Structure 1
Amino acid sequence: MRKAARLFEIIQILRLARKPITAAEIAEKLEVTPRSIYRDIVALQAMRVPVEGERGLGYILRPGFDLPPLMFSIEETEAIVLALALLARTGDEELKTAAQRVNRKITGAVPQPLRQAFHSQALHAWGTIAAPPPAVDLAMIRRAIRDEQKLALDYRDELGRTTERTVRPLALIYYSEHAMMVAWCELRQDIRNFRADRVEHCEPIGAFFRGEGEKLRQAWIAGWKINAVRSFASSGTV
Protein backbone atom coordinates (compact mmCIF):
# COMPACT_ATOMS: atom_id res chain seq x y z
CA MET A 1 0.00 0.00 0.00
CA ARG A 2 1.36 3.42 -0.95
CA LYS A 3 1.99 5.90 1.85
CA ALA A 4 -0.71 8.35 0.73
CA ALA A 5 -3.32 5.59 0.73
CA ARG A 6 -2.07 4.35 4.12
CA LEU A 7 -2.39 7.83 5.66
CA PHE A 8 -5.97 8.02 4.46
CA GLU A 9 -6.65 4.57 5.89
CA ILE A 10 -5.23 5.59 9.27
CA ILE A 11 -7.53 8.61 9.37
CA GLN A 12 -10.50 6.37 8.58
CA ILE A 13 -9.55 3.88 11.30
CA LEU A 14 -9.18 6.66 13.88
CA ARG A 15 -12.48 8.26 12.86
CA LEU A 16 -14.36 5.02 13.42
CA ALA A 17 -12.56 4.00 16.62
CA ARG A 18 -14.59 4.33 19.80
CA LYS A 19 -11.53 4.32 22.05
CA PRO A 20 -7.80 4.99 21.65
CA ILE A 21 -6.25 2.53 19.21
CA THR A 22 -2.61 1.52 19.36
CA ALA A 23 -0.10 1.60 16.53
CA ALA A 24 0.15 -2.19 16.75
CA GLU A 25 -3.61 -2.53 16.19
CA ILE A 26 -3.51 -0.16 13.22
CA ALA A 27 -0.47 -1.97 11.82
CA GLU A 28 -2.28 -5.30 11.99
CA LYS A 29 -5.25 -3.91 10.05
CA LEU A 30 -3.02 -2.43 7.33
CA GLU A 31 -0.50 -5.29 7.28
CA VAL A 32 2.54 -3.10 7.97
CA THR A 33 4.91 -2.74 10.91
CA PRO A 34 4.11 -0.59 13.98
CA ARG A 35 7.26 1.41 13.17
CA SER A 36 5.63 2.46 9.87
CA ILE A 37 2.51 3.57 11.72
CA TYR A 38 4.56 5.65 14.17
CA ARG A 39 6.16 7.45 11.22
CA ASP A 40 2.75 7.92 9.58
CA ILE A 41 1.29 9.41 12.76
CA VAL A 42 4.14 11.93 12.87
CA ALA A 43 3.50 12.76 9.20
CA LEU A 44 -0.22 13.30 9.85
CA GLN A 45 0.49 15.54 12.81
CA ALA A 46 2.91 17.55 10.67
CA MET A 47 0.04 18.06 8.21
CA ARG A 48 -2.06 19.45 11.09
CA VAL A 49 -4.33 16.42 11.27
CA PRO A 50 -5.41 16.46 14.96
CA VAL A 51 -4.13 13.03 15.99
CA GLU A 52 -3.44 12.81 19.72
CA GLY A 53 -1.93 10.07 21.88
CA GLU A 54 1.28 8.30 22.79
CA ARG A 55 3.12 5.11 22.02
CA GLY A 56 1.73 2.19 23.98
CA LEU A 57 -1.38 4.10 25.05
CA GLY A 58 -3.05 4.55 21.69
CA TYR A 59 -4.18 7.35 19.40
CA ILE A 60 -7.41 9.23 18.82
CA LEU A 61 -8.60 11.73 16.25
CA ARG A 62 -9.74 14.91 17.94
CA PRO A 63 -13.44 15.72 17.26
CA GLY A 64 -14.09 18.32 14.59
CA PHE A 65 -11.75 16.99 11.92
CA ASP A 66 -13.58 15.71 8.88
CA LEU A 67 -13.02 14.80 5.25
CA PRO A 68 -15.12 16.20 2.40
CA PRO A 69 -18.59 14.60 2.61
CA LEU A 70 -19.76 11.93 0.18
CA MET A 71 -23.21 12.92 -1.03
CA PHE A 72 -25.04 9.67 -1.78
CA SER A 73 -28.76 9.09 -1.93
CA ILE A 74 -30.28 6.01 -0.30
CA GLU A 75 -30.50 4.29 -3.71
CA GLU A 76 -26.87 5.14 -4.53
CA THR A 77 -25.75 3.81 -1.17
CA GLU A 78 -27.65 0.56 -1.73
CA ALA A 79 -26.06 0.25 -5.19
CA ILE A 80 -22.61 0.52 -3.59
CA VAL A 81 -23.49 -2.03 -0.91
CA LEU A 82 -24.62 -4.55 -3.52
CA ALA A 83 -21.62 -3.89 -5.79
CA LEU A 84 -19.23 -4.51 -2.88
CA ALA A 85 -21.07 -7.73 -2.07
CA LEU A 86 -20.74 -8.89 -5.69
CA LEU A 87 -16.98 -8.28 -5.55
CA ALA A 88 -16.77 -10.79 -2.72
CA ARG A 89 -17.87 -13.48 -5.20
CA THR A 90 -14.92 -12.99 -7.54
CA GLY A 91 -11.65 -14.86 -7.34
CA ASP A 92 -9.70 -11.60 -7.14
CA GLU A 93 -8.37 -11.52 -3.58
CA GLU A 94 -6.92 -8.00 -3.87
CA LEU A 95 -10.24 -6.57 -5.06
CA LYS A 96 -12.09 -8.34 -2.25
CA THR A 97 -9.76 -6.72 0.29
CA ALA A 98 -10.14 -3.36 -1.47
CA ALA A 99 -13.93 -3.72 -1.25
CA GLN A 100 -13.65 -4.07 2.53
CA ARG A 101 -11.58 -0.87 2.68
CA VAL A 102 -14.15 0.96 0.53
CA ASN A 103 -16.88 -0.17 2.90
CA ARG A 104 -14.97 1.21 5.90
CA LYS A 105 -14.25 4.52 4.16
CA ILE A 106 -17.83 5.13 3.11
CA THR A 107 -19.20 4.03 6.46
CA GLY A 108 -16.98 6.58 8.15
CA ALA A 109 -17.87 9.38 5.72
CA VAL A 110 -21.63 9.19 5.20
CA PRO A 111 -24.17 10.60 7.69
CA GLN A 112 -25.52 8.29 10.39
CA PRO A 113 -28.87 7.54 8.64
CA LEU A 114 -27.03 6.17 5.60
CA ARG A 115 -24.58 4.11 7.67
CA GLN A 116 -27.42 1.76 8.51
CA ALA A 117 -27.54 0.63 4.88
CA PHE A 118 -24.02 -0.76 5.25
CA HIS A 119 -24.92 -2.79 8.35
CA SER A 120 -28.55 -3.77 7.80
CA GLN A 121 -27.87 -7.10 5.99
CA ALA A 122 -30.90 -6.31 3.84
CA LEU A 123 -29.08 -6.70 0.49
CA HIS A 124 -27.26 -9.90 -0.43
CA ALA A 125 -25.36 -11.20 -3.45
CA TRP A 126 -25.96 -14.94 -3.74
CA GLY A 127 -24.55 -17.67 -5.95
CA THR A 128 -21.28 -19.34 -6.85
CA ILE A 129 -18.11 -17.88 -5.37
CA ALA A 130 -15.26 -18.12 -7.87
CA ALA A 131 -12.04 -19.69 -6.64
CA PRO A 132 -8.80 -17.75 -7.24
CA PRO A 133 -7.02 -19.07 -10.35
CA PRO A 134 -4.21 -21.40 -9.23
CA ALA A 135 -1.34 -20.11 -11.38
CA VAL A 136 -1.94 -16.41 -12.02
CA ASP A 137 -2.52 -13.35 -9.85
CA LEU A 138 -5.48 -11.33 -11.16
CA ALA A 139 -4.06 -8.23 -9.47
CA MET A 140 -0.94 -8.58 -11.63
CA ILE A 141 -3.10 -8.73 -14.76
CA ARG A 142 -4.98 -5.60 -13.71
CA ARG A 143 -1.70 -3.76 -13.16
CA ALA A 144 -0.45 -4.89 -16.56
CA ILE A 145 -3.65 -3.57 -18.15
CA ARG A 146 -3.18 -0.19 -16.44
CA ASP A 147 0.53 0.00 -17.27
CA GLU A 148 0.06 -1.42 -20.79
CA GLN A 149 2.76 -4.00 -20.11
CA LYS A 150 3.07 -7.23 -22.05
CA LEU A 151 2.70 -10.61 -20.35
CA ALA A 152 4.34 -13.92 -21.13
CA LEU A 153 2.13 -16.89 -20.36
CA ASP A 154 1.82 -20.63 -20.80
CA TYR A 155 -1.77 -21.36 -21.74
CA ARG A 156 -3.64 -24.65 -21.84
CA ASP A 157 -6.65 -24.76 -24.20
CA GLU A 158 -9.85 -26.79 -23.80
CA LEU A 159 -8.16 -29.81 -25.44
CA GLY A 160 -5.26 -29.75 -22.98
CA ARG A 161 -2.70 -28.37 -25.45
CA THR A 162 -0.24 -25.87 -23.98
CA THR A 163 1.26 -22.98 -25.92
CA GLU A 164 3.61 -20.16 -25.00
CA ARG A 165 2.16 -16.72 -25.68
CA THR A 166 3.15 -13.08 -25.44
CA VAL A 167 0.01 -11.01 -24.99
CA ARG A 168 -1.08 -7.41 -24.56
CA PRO A 169 -3.75 -7.52 -21.81
CA LEU A 170 -6.75 -5.31 -22.47
CA ALA A 171 -9.54 -6.25 -20.07
CA LEU A 172 -10.67 -8.67 -17.35
CA ILE A 173 -14.15 -10.19 -17.38
CA TYR A 174 -15.40 -11.64 -14.10
CA TYR A 175 -17.85 -14.52 -14.53
CA SER A 176 -19.39 -16.34 -11.59
CA GLU A 177 -17.23 -19.43 -12.24
CA HIS A 178 -13.96 -17.87 -13.43
CA ALA A 179 -12.22 -14.76 -14.74
CA MET A 180 -11.37 -14.17 -18.41
CA MET A 181 -8.50 -12.04 -19.71
CA VAL A 182 -9.02 -10.31 -23.04
CA ALA A 183 -5.71 -9.68 -24.79
CA TRP A 184 -4.02 -9.14 -28.13
CA CYS A 185 -2.13 -12.35 -28.79
CA GLU A 186 1.12 -11.87 -30.68
CA LEU A 187 1.15 -15.55 -31.66
CA ARG A 188 -2.29 -15.39 -33.32
CA GLN A 189 -2.06 -11.71 -34.28
CA ASP A 190 -5.59 -11.18 -33.07
CA ILE A 191 -7.65 -10.52 -29.95
CA ARG A 192 -8.17 -13.66 -27.89
CA ASN A 193 -9.85 -14.63 -24.61
CA PHE A 194 -7.83 -16.51 -21.99
CA ARG A 195 -9.51 -18.24 -19.06
CA ALA A 196 -7.50 -17.47 -15.95
CA ASP A 197 -7.90 -21.00 -14.59
CA ARG A 198 -6.20 -22.39 -17.73
CA VAL A 199 -3.12 -20.19 -17.39
CA GLU A 200 -0.25 -22.38 -16.16
CA HIS A 201 2.30 -19.59 -15.81
CA CYS A 202 2.16 -15.82 -16.28
CA GLU A 203 4.61 -13.00 -15.68
CA PRO A 204 5.20 -9.46 -16.95
CA ILE A 205 8.07 -8.88 -19.32
CA GLY A 206 10.14 -5.77 -19.90
CA ALA A 207 8.14 -4.67 -22.91
CA PHE A 208 5.19 -2.31 -23.14
CA PHE A 209 2.50 -1.33 -25.63
CA ARG A 210 1.85 2.14 -24.27
CA GLY A 211 -0.59 4.21 -26.28
CA GLU A 212 -2.11 1.14 -27.97
CA GLY A 213 -4.35 -0.24 -25.25
CA GLU A 214 -7.40 1.95 -25.78
CA LYS A 215 -7.29 1.49 -29.56
CA LEU A 216 -7.18 -2.30 -29.14
CA ARG A 217 -10.06 -2.17 -26.63
CA GLN A 218 -12.14 -0.20 -29.10
CA ALA A 219 -11.43 -2.83 -31.76
CA TRP A 220 -12.54 -5.51 -29.29
CA ILE A 221 -15.79 -3.64 -28.52
CA ALA A 222 -16.41 -3.07 -32.23
CA GLY A 223 -16.10 -6.83 -32.69
CA TRP A 224 -18.99 -7.32 -30.27
CA LYS A 225 -21.22 -5.15 -32.43
CA ILE A 226 -20.22 -6.92 -35.65
CA ASN A 227 -20.88 -10.33 -34.10
CA ALA A 228 -24.21 -9.15 -32.71
CA VAL A 229 -25.36 -7.97 -36.17
CA ARG A 230 -24.25 -11.23 -37.73
CA SER A 231 -26.12 -13.19 -35.06
CA PHE A 232 -29.35 -11.28 -35.63
CA ALA A 233 -28.97 -11.58 -39.42
CA SER A 234 -28.48 -15.34 -39.27
CA SER A 235 -31.56 -15.71 -37.06
CA GLY A 236 -33.70 -13.70 -39.45
CA THR A 237 -34.27 -10.91 -36.95
CA VAL A 238 -32.58 -8.31 -39.14
Structure 2
Amino acid sequence: MKKTNRLFETIQIFRAADRPIRAEDLAARLEVSVRTVYRDIAALQAMRTPIEGEPGIGYVMRRGYDLPPLNFDEEEVEALRVGLCMLSRSGDRALRRAAERISTKIDALHAPADWIQVSRWGAPEDDPELGCVSKAMLRAAVREERVLRIDYADATGARTTRDIRPIAVIYHVDAVLLAAWCELRNGLRHFRTDRIHACEATGATFRGQGAVFRQLWSEQNRWDVVSDMAARAGTS
Protein backbone atom coordinates (compact mmCIF):
# COMPACT_ATOMS: atom_id res chain seq x y z
CA MET A 1 0.00 0.00 0.00
CA LYS A 2 1.36 3.41 -0.96
CA LYS A 3 2.10 5.82 1.87
CA THR A 4 -0.59 8.32 0.84
CA ASN A 5 -3.22 5.55 0.77
CA ARG A 6 -1.96 4.22 4.09
CA LEU A 7 -2.20 7.64 5.75
CA PHE A 8 -5.75 8.05 4.47
CA GLU A 9 -6.67 4.57 5.72
CA THR A 10 -5.10 5.37 9.12
CA ILE A 11 -7.30 8.44 9.48
CA GLN A 12 -10.38 6.38 8.59
CA ILE A 13 -9.49 3.78 11.23
CA PHE A 14 -9.10 6.45 13.91
CA ARG A 15 -12.37 8.11 12.89
CA ALA A 16 -14.26 4.83 13.36
CA ALA A 17 -12.55 3.86 16.65
CA ASP A 18 -14.32 4.23 20.01
CA ARG A 19 -11.22 3.60 22.13
CA PRO A 20 -7.44 4.17 21.90
CA ILE A 21 -5.65 2.09 19.29
CA ARG A 22 -2.25 0.57 19.99
CA ALA A 23 0.44 0.89 17.34
CA GLU A 24 0.73 -2.91 17.26
CA ASP A 25 -2.97 -3.31 16.43
CA LEU A 26 -2.82 -0.60 13.79
CA ALA A 27 0.25 -2.24 12.24
CA ALA A 28 -1.60 -5.56 12.02
CA ARG A 29 -4.59 -3.98 10.29
CA LEU A 30 -2.43 -2.10 7.79
CA GLU A 31 -0.02 -5.03 7.34
CA VAL A 32 3.06 -2.91 8.07
CA SER A 33 5.67 -2.78 10.83
CA VAL A 34 5.12 -0.97 14.12
CA ARG A 35 8.01 1.33 13.21
CA THR A 36 6.16 2.32 10.04
CA VAL A 37 3.07 3.12 12.12
CA TYR A 38 5.12 5.40 14.38
CA ARG A 39 6.51 7.21 11.34
CA ASP A 40 3.05 7.56 9.78
CA ILE A 41 1.54 8.96 12.98
CA ALA A 42 4.41 11.44 13.27
CA ALA A 43 3.80 12.48 9.65
CA LEU A 44 0.07 12.96 10.29
CA GLN A 45 0.76 14.96 13.44
CA ALA A 46 3.15 17.15 11.45
CA MET A 47 0.25 17.82 9.07
CA ARG A 48 -1.82 18.94 12.10
CA THR A 49 -4.01 15.87 12.18
CA PRO A 50 -5.28 15.81 15.81
CA ILE A 51 -3.88 12.40 16.81
CA GLU A 52 -2.79 12.14 20.44
CA GLY A 53 -1.17 9.40 22.50
CA GLU A 54 2.08 7.67 23.23
CA PRO A 55 3.85 4.45 22.20
CA GLY A 56 2.78 1.54 24.39
CA ILE A 57 -0.42 3.25 25.53
CA GLY A 58 -2.40 3.91 22.40
CA TYR A 59 -3.53 6.71 20.13
CA VAL A 60 -6.80 8.54 19.63
CA MET A 61 -7.96 11.23 17.24
CA ARG A 62 -9.92 14.16 18.61
CA ARG A 63 -13.57 14.22 17.60
CA GLY A 64 -14.63 16.72 14.99
CA TYR A 65 -11.78 16.12 12.58
CA ASP A 66 -12.96 15.21 9.11
CA LEU A 67 -11.65 14.98 5.59
CA PRO A 68 -12.79 17.41 2.89
CA PRO A 69 -16.08 16.26 1.31
CA LEU A 70 -16.02 14.50 -2.02
CA ASN A 71 -17.02 16.99 -4.70
CA PHE A 72 -19.44 14.74 -6.58
CA ASP A 73 -23.08 15.41 -7.40
CA GLU A 74 -25.79 12.83 -6.60
CA GLU A 75 -25.69 11.10 -9.97
CA GLU A 76 -21.88 10.92 -9.92
CA VAL A 77 -22.01 9.28 -6.48
CA GLU A 78 -24.59 6.78 -7.75
CA ALA A 79 -22.35 6.02 -10.73
CA LEU A 80 -19.50 5.33 -8.32
CA ARG A 81 -21.69 3.04 -6.21
CA VAL A 82 -22.82 0.99 -9.22
CA GLY A 83 -19.27 0.76 -10.58
CA LEU A 84 -17.92 -0.35 -7.21
CA CYS A 85 -20.66 -2.96 -6.84
CA MET A 86 -19.92 -4.33 -10.30
CA LEU A 87 -16.32 -5.01 -9.27
CA SER A 88 -17.69 -7.99 -7.35
CA ARG A 89 -18.56 -9.50 -10.75
CA SER A 90 -14.90 -9.43 -11.79
CA GLY A 91 -14.04 -12.32 -9.46
CA ASP A 92 -11.03 -10.29 -8.28
CA ARG A 93 -11.02 -10.59 -4.49
CA ALA A 94 -8.46 -7.82 -3.96
CA LEU A 95 -10.42 -5.34 -6.10
CA ARG A 96 -13.64 -6.32 -4.32
CA ARG A 97 -12.09 -5.61 -0.92
CA ALA A 98 -10.79 -2.27 -2.22
CA ALA A 99 -14.27 -1.45 -3.53
CA GLU A 100 -15.77 -2.23 -0.12
CA ARG A 101 -13.29 0.15 1.55
CA ILE A 102 -14.13 2.90 -0.92
CA SER A 103 -17.86 2.32 -0.44
CA THR A 104 -17.42 2.69 3.33
CA LYS A 105 -15.69 6.03 2.79
CA ILE A 106 -18.49 7.20 0.49
CA ASP A 107 -21.11 6.12 3.06
CA ALA A 108 -19.27 8.17 5.70
CA LEU A 109 -19.84 11.31 3.61
CA HIS A 110 -23.18 10.47 2.00
CA ALA A 111 -26.28 8.61 3.15
CA PRO A 112 -26.13 4.88 2.32
CA ALA A 113 -28.04 3.87 -0.81
CA ASP A 114 -29.23 0.32 -0.22
CA TRP A 115 -31.77 0.79 -3.03
CA ILE A 116 -28.92 0.43 -5.55
CA GLN A 117 -28.25 -3.28 -6.04
CA VAL A 118 -26.01 -5.05 -8.57
CA SER A 119 -26.05 -8.78 -9.23
CA ARG A 120 -22.89 -10.54 -8.05
CA TRP A 121 -23.05 -13.10 -10.87
CA GLY A 122 -19.99 -12.93 -13.07
CA ALA A 123 -16.48 -14.31 -13.43
CA PRO A 124 -15.33 -17.09 -11.06
CA GLU A 125 -13.81 -15.77 -7.85
CA ASP A 126 -10.05 -16.18 -7.48
CA ASP A 127 -10.27 -18.25 -4.32
CA PRO A 128 -6.80 -19.70 -3.49
CA GLU A 129 -8.49 -22.59 -1.66
CA LEU A 130 -9.97 -23.64 -5.00
CA GLY A 131 -6.56 -23.55 -6.65
CA CYS A 132 -7.18 -20.27 -8.48
CA VAL A 133 -4.34 -17.82 -8.99
CA SER A 134 -4.84 -14.40 -7.44
CA LYS A 135 -5.84 -11.78 -10.00
CA ALA A 136 -4.11 -9.21 -7.80
CA MET A 137 -0.82 -11.03 -8.45
CA LEU A 138 -1.45 -10.91 -12.20
CA ARG A 139 -2.31 -7.20 -12.10
CA ALA A 140 0.86 -6.51 -10.11
CA ALA A 141 2.94 -8.39 -12.70
CA VAL A 142 1.43 -6.21 -15.46
CA ARG A 143 2.18 -3.00 -13.54
CA GLU A 144 5.70 -4.06 -12.59
CA GLU A 145 6.46 -5.73 -15.94
CA ARG A 146 7.54 -9.03 -14.39
CA VAL A 147 7.85 -12.31 -16.30
CA LEU A 148 5.61 -15.08 -14.97
CA ARG A 149 5.75 -18.86 -15.31
CA ILE A 150 2.28 -20.35 -15.47
CA ASP A 151 0.73 -23.80 -15.60
CA TYR A 152 -2.13 -23.36 -18.06
CA ALA A 153 -4.97 -25.62 -19.23
CA ASP A 154 -6.55 -24.86 -22.61
CA ALA A 155 -10.19 -25.45 -23.58
CA THR A 156 -9.53 -29.19 -24.09
CA GLY A 157 -7.85 -29.57 -20.71
CA ALA A 158 -4.34 -30.00 -22.15
CA ARG A 159 -1.81 -28.36 -19.82
CA THR A 160 1.41 -26.57 -20.64
CA THR A 161 4.00 -24.61 -18.69
CA ARG A 162 4.79 -21.23 -20.20
CA ASP A 163 6.88 -18.15 -19.46
CA ILE A 164 4.82 -15.09 -20.29
CA ARG A 165 5.14 -11.30 -20.24
CA PRO A 166 1.73 -10.09 -19.01
CA ILE A 167 0.61 -6.79 -20.55
CA ALA A 168 -3.11 -6.36 -19.80
CA VAL A 169 -6.05 -7.72 -17.79
CA ILE A 170 -9.41 -7.90 -19.59
CA TYR A 171 -12.55 -8.21 -17.45
CA HIS A 172 -15.24 -9.98 -19.47
CA VAL A 173 -18.79 -10.57 -18.23
CA ASP A 174 -18.12 -14.20 -17.25
CA ALA A 175 -14.34 -14.58 -17.51
CA VAL A 176 -11.17 -12.61 -16.91
CA LEU A 177 -8.41 -12.74 -19.50
CA LEU A 178 -4.70 -12.06 -19.19
CA ALA A 179 -3.11 -10.74 -22.38
CA ALA A 180 0.58 -11.61 -22.59
CA TRP A 181 3.53 -12.30 -24.83
CA CYS A 182 3.97 -16.06 -24.68
CA GLU A 183 7.55 -17.24 -25.07
CA LEU A 184 6.38 -20.79 -25.80
CA ARG A 185 4.37 -19.65 -28.85
CA ASN A 186 6.59 -16.64 -29.58
CA GLY A 187 3.55 -14.39 -29.91
CA LEU A 188 0.72 -12.61 -28.15
CA ARG A 189 -1.84 -14.86 -26.47
CA HIS A 190 -4.83 -14.56 -24.13
CA PHE A 191 -5.20 -16.72 -21.02
CA ARG A 192 -8.36 -17.25 -19.00
CA THR A 193 -7.36 -16.64 -15.39
CA ASP A 194 -9.56 -19.50 -14.14
CA ARG A 195 -7.44 -21.89 -16.24
CA ILE A 196 -4.13 -20.74 -14.75
CA HIS A 197 -3.51 -23.48 -12.18
CA ALA A 198 -0.14 -22.24 -10.92
CA CYS A 199 1.82 -19.04 -11.26
CA GLU A 200 5.17 -17.76 -10.03
CA ALA A 201 7.51 -14.90 -10.84
CA THR A 202 10.65 -16.03 -12.63
CA GLY A 203 12.70 -13.10 -11.33
CA ALA A 204 13.08 -11.69 -14.85
CA THR A 205 11.50 -8.42 -15.93
CA PHE A 206 10.66 -6.68 -19.20
CA ARG A 207 10.90 -3.12 -17.94
CA GLY A 208 10.00 -0.49 -20.49
CA GLN A 209 8.58 -3.04 -22.96
CA GLY A 210 4.99 -3.21 -21.73
CA ALA A 211 3.80 -0.20 -23.72
CA VAL A 212 5.46 -1.59 -26.87
CA PHE A 213 3.72 -4.95 -26.46
CA ARG A 214 0.37 -3.21 -25.87
CA GLN A 215 0.83 -1.14 -29.00
CA LEU A 216 1.55 -4.32 -30.96
CA TRP A 217 -1.48 -5.93 -29.37
CA SER A 218 -3.76 -3.00 -30.29
CA GLU A 219 -2.64 -3.23 -33.91
CA GLN A 220 -3.63 -6.91 -34.03
CA ASN A 221 -6.78 -6.99 -31.94
CA ARG A 222 -9.93 -5.24 -30.79
CA TRP A 223 -10.73 -5.44 -27.07
CA ASP A 224 -14.40 -6.33 -27.51
CA VAL A 225 -13.78 -9.07 -30.12
CA VAL A 226 -10.89 -10.59 -28.19
CA SER A 227 -12.86 -10.59 -24.95
CA ASP A 228 -15.79 -12.43 -26.54
CA MET A 229 -13.80 -14.98 -28.54
CA ALA A 230 -11.07 -15.70 -25.99
CA ALA A 231 -13.52 -15.98 -23.10
CA ARG A 232 -15.25 -18.81 -24.95
CA ALA A 233 -12.32 -20.54 -26.60
CA GLY A 234 -9.27 -19.88 -24.45
CA THR A 235 -5.75 -19.69 -25.84
CA SER A 236 -3.51 -22.17 -27.61
Q: TM-score range by the shorter chain?
A: 0.7 to 0.9
Q: Equivalents in 2 of 1:186, 1:141: separation in Å?
A: 17
Give the distance between the partners of 1:5 and 1:209, measured in 2 at CA.
Answer: 27
Task: Say which of 167, 170, 188 aligns to 1:173.
Answer: 170
Structure 1 residue 22 corresponds to structure 2 residue 3: no
Q: 1:141 aligns with which of 138, 146, 165?
A: 138
Contact 1:180 1:195 in 2 (8 A): yes
* SS of equivalent to 1:89: helix
Deviation at 1:38, TM superposition (A): 5.7
SS of the residue corresponding to residue 120 of structure 1 reads coil
- The alignment's TM-score, normalised by the length of structure 1, stands at 0.77
Paired position in structure 2 for 1:89: 89
Deviations 1:21-47 (A, max 9, x none): 533775665456778656643442244
- Look up the match of 2:6: 6
Give the number of aligned pairs.
219
**RMSD between aligned residues:** 2.9
Counterparts of 1:179-198 in structure 2 under 5 Å?
Answer: 179-198=176-195
Which residue of structure 1 lines up, in the alignment, with residue 230 of structure 2? none
Q: Which amino acid aligns with 2:217?
A: W
Deviation at 1:86, TM superposition (A): 0.7
Task: Give the C-alpha shift of residue 93 in structure 1.
Answer: 1.3
Q: Tell me how far apart the structure 2 counterparts of residues 168 and 83 of structure 1 sit (CA, whole Å).
A: 29
Aligned match for 1:161, one of 148, 158, 169: 158
1:130-152 C-alpha deviation (Å, 9 max, x unpaired): 32162411111111100111111
Greater shift, 18-27 or 217-226, is seen at: 18-27
Structure 1 runs not aligned, ≥5 long: 229-238
Deviations 1:33-83 (A, max 9, x none): 7786566434422442111356667612342x4444421111111111011
CA shift digits 1:77-99 (9 cap, x unpaired): 11110111011222211111111
Higher CA-based Rg: 1
Partner of 1:101: 101
User: CA–CA distance in 1 between the matches of 2:100 and 2:20?
Assistant: 19
Deviations 1:181-232 (A, max 9, x none): 111111112211111111121111222112221222222223235997xxxx
Identity %: 42
Who is 1:131 aligned against?
125
Q: Is the 8 A contact 2:149 2:162 kept in 1?
A: yes
Q: What does the per-residue CA deviation read over 1:85-134, in whole Å, with 9 as the maximum and x for residues that have no partner?
A: 011222211111111222233344x4xxxx12xx1212111152432162
Q: Report if the CA contact (8 A) 1:22-1:58 is conserved.
A: yes
Structure 2 Cα separation of the partners of residues 57 and 194 of structure 1: 48
Normalised to the residue count of structure 2, the TM-score between the two structures is 0.78
Q: Give the direction of change, closer, same or farther, for the CA distance of 1:25–1:227 in structure 2 (3 Å limit).
A: closer
Give me the whole-angstrom Cα distance separating, in 2, the residues matched to 1:48 and 1:10.
14
